[in-house]
Amino acid sequence: MKFLFLMLLLGIGLFGCTHQDGESNKPDTATHASHEGKHAHNRANQDMNSNPFESMVQNFDSPERDEWQQPEKVLSYLGDLSGKTVMDIGSGSGYFSFKFHQAGAKVICADVDERFLGYIAQKRDSLGIDATEMETRKIPYDSSTLQEGEADLVVIVDTYHHIDDRPAYFSEIRERLKPGGELIVIDFFKKELPVGPGVDHKVSKEVVMEELEQAGYTTLTLNTELLPYQFVVRAGV
């Protein structure tokens, strides 16, 4: 499994979900799911590696992103984060990590790329944020390294399509969340959009829901109305 984290976070009838569909795609078959899991992330990683680090940071933190990412809506959707611990998988430049901290959360900034973690640490220190309140953590390609009972909330934004063997990866997270904890997946609709990766790099919302069901999540909610270019899956244990 490889992913270089970027973009740096009602449902289908799975366990009581209600469906609000903003995509025109037909549901994916198992063949499509296999393709999306095993091949698309490799091409996405290759594309990311071709971009200079500085340009990625500028893109992740740009005012233009604020317009379509609409972080205020995301934070409102997540609810009160005061006193909670949030793991931001694929934290990248810390676009959401710093917002989670400002909202009162302790944040674990998790990424496979030391350059992003160094960038976050430098910015964190310059802002006078204690490292115990915003931890940077280098994670391997096949595990979040989340410890049992360590986080109330795990958020993965625009990064799901970079992960291989996702049912196993997210099953591990499910087992280690605090009681009542949640996983939030935010990613792009699998269609042509003015932002985000190409269609062949994306994973459809149907596949995300199916894989998280396989990972053992018993409460799945799909929201396709919150953001203009992305769907949100809220997964509980």
- Is the pTM above the cut of 0.85? no
Determine the angle formed by the axes of helices 205-214 and 166-176, rounding to 10 degrees: 60
pLDDT band at 9 (very low <50, low <70, confident <90, very high): very low
pLDDT of residue 3: 39
List beta partners, residue 233: 185, 222
For residue 38, the 8-state DSSP code is: I
For residue 42, the 8-state DSSP code is: H
Mean pLDDT of the residues in the chain = 85
pLDDT of residue 56: 87
Write down the domain spans for the chain: 30-59+68-236
- Rounded CA separation 217/209 (Å): 9
Task: Please state which of the four CATH numbers 3.40.50.150, 3.90.420.10, 3.40.50.1820, 3.40.50.1110 is assigned to the domain occupying 30-59+68-236.
Answer: 3.40.50.150
Confirm if 89 and 110 have CB atoms less than 8 A apart: yes
- Rounded CA separation 124/47 (Å): 28
pLDDT of residue 46: 47
Averaged pLDDT for residues 197-224: 97
3-state secondary structure of 222: strand
Task: Please give the residue that has the higher pLDDT: either 42 or 178.
Answer: 178
